Structure 1
């Protein structure tokens, strides 16, 4: 890893994100939102945005502030912007939740809250885009994983822009023709830009580097990986830009989404081949828990793609789209996020605590900060629960789904305890204590140390 510079607020992002994930799981287990309510119901929108913004977007932003500099071997443009970025995004998410509750009639306020929430979220994500974009602009040409991140940032801008349109139309009753068309029929584009572009494309780019780094595999930068980038970018451009054009000219979205979907499936297939090569070409023969659990996330991604194709063939995709999205969000994105978070928290804590004394005294390994045998059961419970919940969505069986999500919540809580123990050095302290010159890290903030 290039240098030992640590993003000061990355751990804060991770803590807030995990809290949002647990909140989302609590809501689903309690029967709030989908599938107990329709997909477009305000209650479902509360649930969706808590997970998509509070959990996945904050997790990814925190990770990118730390790892974009690693991808390009350059420092982050600004170490001071991540804190206001976090505050604006959290404030905007809170306002968004209140705005949806206002539309559901749960709260009564004479002031429309959605436009204010959209403004706060726009500022927060604009700060993230500026910080990460200026960092990436310092290098030409960009390394291949960084190009995936660059495309993902463009998709984040598109996601936010579409969200602003929805908020203006819903919150201020704007009746401009083009805005009404986008707000009325543009939800699939918002989902594609957010889940497909921002979250998945960034996750793919970062996974290329992290899986290679943690498994000691040769990094992928050949024609197949280039094809993943270009096919995926073309798929997103056709689906989002083609879809917008279709809406504005009163055409259906189906052709643009179908063409983008075909290219996207081709890109995912090649990505799967690349990842399989990383596992086979690794120098670390016995791979660590985070890499083994990442494989289950990739299996979930493949299963979601196959499920979508089968449902299209059966003519039932629109009826069962919730199950596909659920498996993508919780099996693929959340599973990958939790698996890598398990290693990242320990790795960054090790750098912060022991980096300044490396070579001066004996230090533990990164693996000494974790307890894989105990953490493994929580990962297994998490994935089994996600797959069970997906099956109950397909059935459909509401009670079974809620019970499966409750098990997901228990697994997430168990993993969060392991993350906290790694951060607080509980495993190391119980065995050997801290060497002279090392300092116990703070749970929420990484404090720079002189090397």
Structure 2
């Protein structure tokens, strides 16, 4: 990979993210959080933050530490910051979740845990953001996908700051100003997080990964700039316009309507770009990760259509949980799981066989995986997500929990395939460990002194 070495701690980020995902799924199966209780209840907030921070954001951070250097063809500014950021994010999330449990009466009233958790999360995300921004800055001028990441990181900053305001307000601090933002600003926080940080960043990374893994020409720069502009304007309107509307007490209806229209425009442009990547690929036989990523894109399109129908029928507020579930699990989680399946194999191959390439026979990246075995788990995952969404729309919590149970089993099956890949279980002898190679570690890459990269 031009521009970067293996990230030592990317696998640790991925492993922690998967643990949070499975934990959240198990809690949903047990009836914890929505739909058993209100969508804004403390229990639901626990699930939401386990998914959005613990699973999606942690996985995204690991991917960015590995692939931003690839996007800009420059080494990471400082490898030393990956592990401290990981520790801060983990500690911050645990404190935040404990604060929500205290808010809901499941723990003693230690509401100070909420601002503590928010502060630790801001520190962790801030350390990661500074490291990545400095990496991109040193590589200027940069190309389109890196710009998506920068806008995504800006959205992350807005999301974290809004969340911090909520945390301080729930703990009884900040006065009337923080209280007003808490009362009306939750949609801004959610859109900046799911739509800005996670979706725009996933878009930028997907451009590069799909192009690389499908041997497809990069999307024309003008096209990606238009898509990025639409997305950036959307997030700018929702954050700045939303906060201004709250300050002026005019309501968020106009801001949310403009956000919805621009979001649809952004997704349409992104869909055009992705369709071009699939259409112009040189690798005609699609690998499992790109086939399953397509189901993530289908889920994104379905969520957009669902949102339009819910707004048109005036039932969006009643079914916002189903809409968010499809975005979080069908689109974002589906795409992340599909890409992790390839990323883990790719990084494991680089770590294990890259140093010996050209000196001894080595397997292909595809020889590290067993796609036929994994395909059934991915199919089960997406089908379960769609059924669970239907259960929420139909007001059938029992059907939802059964579907989430199937989704949890499928997730565990996918994770098992990732572990098999990391342990080289599907590589046949004598290619498994030829001379000059060493067995990869499960949770981190090769030991190497932490150092700041020089330009």
Q: TM-score, normalised by structure 1?
A: 0.98
What is aligned with 1:163?
163
RMSD across aligned C-alpha pairs, in angstroms?
1.3
Matched residue, 1:148: 148
Match of 1:30 in 2: 30
How far apart, CA to CA, are the structure 2 residues paired with 1:247 and 1:36?
Answer: 31
C-alpha displacement at 1:312, in angstroms? 0.7
- The SS at the match of 2:426 is helix
Question: Residues 6 and 448 of structure 1 are in contact (CA less than 8 Å); yes or no, is this contact kept in structure 2?
Answer: no
What is the match of residue 267 of structure 2? 268
Cα distance in 2 between the residues matched to 1:302 and 1:37: 28
Residue 433 of structure 1 and its aligned partner are, at CA, apart by: 3.0
Q: Deviations over 1:242-300 (max 9, x none)?
A: 00100011111110111121011011001101111111100001010000000000000
Q: Matches of residues 344-423 of structure 1 in structure 2 within 5 Å?
A: 344-423=343-422
Partner of 1:319, secondary structure, is coil
Q: State the partner residue of 1:291.
A: 290
> 1:224, CA displacement in angstroms?
2.6
Determine if the alignment matches structure 1 residue 104 to structure 2 residue 104: yes
Q: Which moved more, 1:315-324 or 1:194-203?
A: 315-324
**What SS does the corresponding residue of 1:75 show, helix, strand or coil?**
coil
Whether the aligned pair in 2 keeps the contact of 1:4 and 1:355 (CA below 8 Å) is no
Which whole-Å CA distance do the structure 2 matches of 1:147 and 1:235 have between them?
15
5 Å-filtered alignment, 1:111-126, equals 112-126=112-126
What is the CA-CA distance between 1:222 and the residue it aligns to?
A: 3.6
Q: Which residue of 2 aligns with 1:281?
A: 280
Please state whether the residue corresponding to 1:80 is helix, strand or coil.
helix
Q: Does 1:328 align with 2:331?
A: no
Shift of 1:192: 0.6
Mapped to 2, the partners of 1:284 and 1:76 lie a distance apart of 30
Deviation digits for residues 375-427 of structure 1, max 9, x if unmatched?
00000000000000001110010000000000000000000000011111111
Q: 2:207·2:218 contact (CA, 8 Å) conserved in 1?
A: yes
Q: Quick check: 107-116 or 371-380, which moved more?
A: 107-116
Q: Deviations over 1:57-79 (max 9, x none)?
A: 00000000000000000000111
The change in CA–CA distance for 1:363 and 1:106 in structure 2 (over 3 A counts) is same
1:242 aligns with 2:223: no
Shift in Å at residue 449 of structure 1? 7.5
- Give 3-state SS (helix, strand or coil) of 2:39's partner: coil
What does residue 446 of structure 1 align with?
445
> What SS does the aligned partner of 1:435 have?
coil
Q: CA deviation at 1:221?
A: 2.7
Measured in 2, the distance between the counterparts of 1:128 and 1:432 equals: 37
Q: Secondary structure at the match of 2:216?
A: coil
Task: Give the whole-Å Cα distance in 1 for the aligned partners of 2:145 and 2:110.
Answer: 47
Summarize deviations over 1:19-72 as a string: whole Å, max 9, x none: 000011001111100111101100000010011100000000000000000000
For the residues of structure 2 that align with 1:335 and 1:235, how far apart are their CA atoms? Answer: 24
Q: Distance in 2 between matches of 1:353 and 1:177?
A: 57
Partners in 2 of 1:447 and 1:23 — Cα distance? Answer: 28
Between the two proteins, the alignment pairs up a number of residues equal to: 449
Tell me how far apart the structure 2 counterparts of residues 406 and 436 of structure 1 sit (CA, whole Å).
Answer: 44
Take 1:321 and 1:342, find their aligned partners in 2: how far apart are those partners? 30
Structure 2 matches for 1:226-237, cutoff 5 A? 226-237=225-236
Aligned-pair CA distance for 1:211: 0.4
